[in-house]
Amino acid sequence: MTHRTDITTPTDDLSVYTEGVAGVIDLDRPRALNSLTHPMVTGIADALAAWRDDPTVTTVLIRSTSPKAFCAGGDVRWAAGRDADDDHATPDAFFREEYDLNATLAEYPRPVVALIDGLVMGGGLGISAHGSHRVVTPSAWASMPEMAIGFVTDVGMTHVLSHLRHAGVDGVAPGPSPALALFLAVTGYRQSAEEMLWSGLATHLVPEGTAEQVADRVIAEGVDAALADARTAAGAGVGSGSGSGSGSGPGAGGGDVPLAAHLGWIGETFGSGEWAEVAARIDAATGPFADEVRSLLAPANPTSLVATTELVRRSARSTLRGALDAEYAVGCALRRQPNFVEGVRAVLVDKDHEPSFRPADVADVDPAVWRDLLA
């Protein structure tokens, strides 16, 4: 048995401790699917700062106490409440600190292991996708759902998605895809665990029901030993350092990975232009996947789609910190529009999923406004 030493945190929604060779962060706000409050963000950042100079902490492990979710996002319900009262400065400070934490995780000098067993969305990806090891079970799924609440793809995910190296498919070589980045950023498409492994969002897939055992081994033996038998993606080069995965991953050809099978269409449809051009190509497309994409986009705020397209295009040529600053600028502007409070109302408060966004039509949103904000 290893000895556990607890560290005081600003909130009961988080347990932070050192055990074995690891610094462990347990997200523990299961009633809200671990959506991140400001004290949770502060507590995680404090732990990372403390462990940076602690040579006994060789690995950071982030996991969840909820059987359903790793983390559903930031506490946007709270943020919208402040914005509705014309208090923008308080949520501004929350998002700034959250985005600084995202960058800290990306730059952390030790392995950061996120164990994702269940859903991960938005801000949950912000505290997992930047780390070195994104371990999923077959129950995991991931989505960026911000368009439906009148917000923007944030937490550095415009940058992550633009730089992900997918594993390739017949006719498309492995590597980053600007089209796939925009598709994932705006549709809220739910990637399965297999799709996450193929897209590069996940680095390792472990069998159903083994999350706790994997965590125990990370704590006792470190991350390399714990993941020696885990599946890695074939073709994408993730985890190529160990090379010891079973190798039977969703490789070139796509197999049972729908996202891979649709990569050609996604490339033709999402690969170029501002949102109005992409939307016109989607409108003109036929077939079941085009129908699925149209229904995914139906609840989206047009202004969010236009602004996010500008951010994603820009993120391919920027640093993570640059992308986070751009997302912050756009996010602050969007939270000052009634659409954000309206979107959170429709999705999370009243749950009627019938927002009335203004403008209601993409043709009435000027992309130059958002480009100029980022210039």
Q: Provide the binding-site residues for ligand QUE, judged by CB under 6 A.
A: 32-33, 35, 72-74, 76-77, 121-123, 145-146, 148-149, 151, 347-348
Contact 66, 314 (CB under 8 A): no
Angle value at C-alpha 340, between 336 and 343, nearest 5 degrees:
165
Torsion angle of the four alpha carbons 24, 211, 235, 157, in this order, in degrees rounded to the nearest 10:
-50
Q: Helix, strand or coil for residue 251?
A: coil
> Phi and psi of 34, rounded to 5°?
60, 25
Tell the smallest beta-carbon distance from residue 351 to ligand QUE (Å): 10
Tell the smallest beta-carbon distance from residue 346 to ligand QUE (Å): 9
Tell the smallest beta-carbon distance from residue 71 to ligand QUE (Å): 8
User: Please, which residue, 121 or 312, has the CB nearer to ligand QUE?
Assistant: 121
User: Please, which residue, 43 or 249, has the CB nearer to ligand QUE?
Assistant: 43
User: Please, which residue, 317 or 351, has the CB nearer to ligand QUE?
Assistant: 351
Count of C-beta atoms within a 10 Å radius of residue 104? 16
Tell the smallest beta-carbon distance from residue 99 to ligand QUE (Å): 14
User: Please, which residue, 33 or 205, has the CB nearer to ligand QUE?
Assistant: 33
> Phi and psi of 121, rounded to 5°?
-135, 155
Tell the smallest beta-carbon distance from residue 14 to ligand QUE (Å): 15
Angle value at C-alpha 333, between 331 and 338, nearest 5 degrees:
100
22 alpha carbon, distance to own chain's centre: 23
Distance CA 48, CA 122 (A): 21
Nearest to 259 by CA among 211, 199, 340: 199
Q: What is the token pair recorded at 55?
A: 């040579």
User: Please, which residue, 93 or 228, has the CB nearer to ligand QUE?
Assistant: 93
Distance CA 177, CA 266 (A): 10
Tell the smallest beta-carbon distance from residue 238 to ligand QUE (Å): 26
CA distances to 53, 147, 150, 271 from 371, in Å: 41, 18, 18, 18
User: Please, which residue, 45 or 348, has the CB nearer to ligand QUE?
Assistant: 348
The closest residue (CB) to ligand QUE is: 73
User: Please, which residue, 32 or 234, has the CB nearer to ligand QUE?
Assistant: 32
H or E stretch including 307?
A: helix 302-315
Tell the smallest beta-carbon distance from residue 297 to ligand QUE (Å): 13
